[in-house]
Amino acid sequence: MSKSVSKYLSYDLAPLEKNGSENPFIYFTGDIVKDSDSLVPRIMEVESQVFQDDRLKHACLLESLTNKLYKNCERLERSGSNGKDFVRLLRKEVKKFKKLQRNWMMTL
């Protein structure tokens, strides 16, 4: 979902501003793809840890990655792009994921 949103937004944010500078929000489109692609390997890394302390440490890193993804979605919503409705959907999905993640972390 993040790849589709990013692709849609990058066409919208790619043109230069009136003053000749690029739109600073374009970089957040790549960040949401990078961060969402990193979620599954991070989850697998947490699950593969033998000791509980290591699992919790890696789970905290996963939680910070999820928070970063959520923040980047919020930033893209403020970009003034035509696709901010799609970003809002992605942010809602990340919010649901964060709830599931909290429950999962309690079982570690």
Over the chain (108 residues), the average pLDDT of each successive run of 10 is: 86 79 85 94 95 94 96 89 87 96 92
Residue 34 vs residues 40, 55, 62, 69, 97: alpha-carbon distances, Å: 11, 22, 13, 9, 17
Query: Kind and range of the H or E element at 68?
Result: helix 52-77
pLDDT score at 10: 81
pLDDT score at 36: 94
Amino acid residing at 63? E
pLDDT score at 49: 94
In this structure, is the dihedral angle defined by the CA atoms of residues 27, 30, 32 and 38, taken in order, positive or negative? negative
What pTM value is reported for the model? 0.86
Quote the DSSP letter at residue 49. Answer: -
In the block, tokens 């979605």 appear at 73
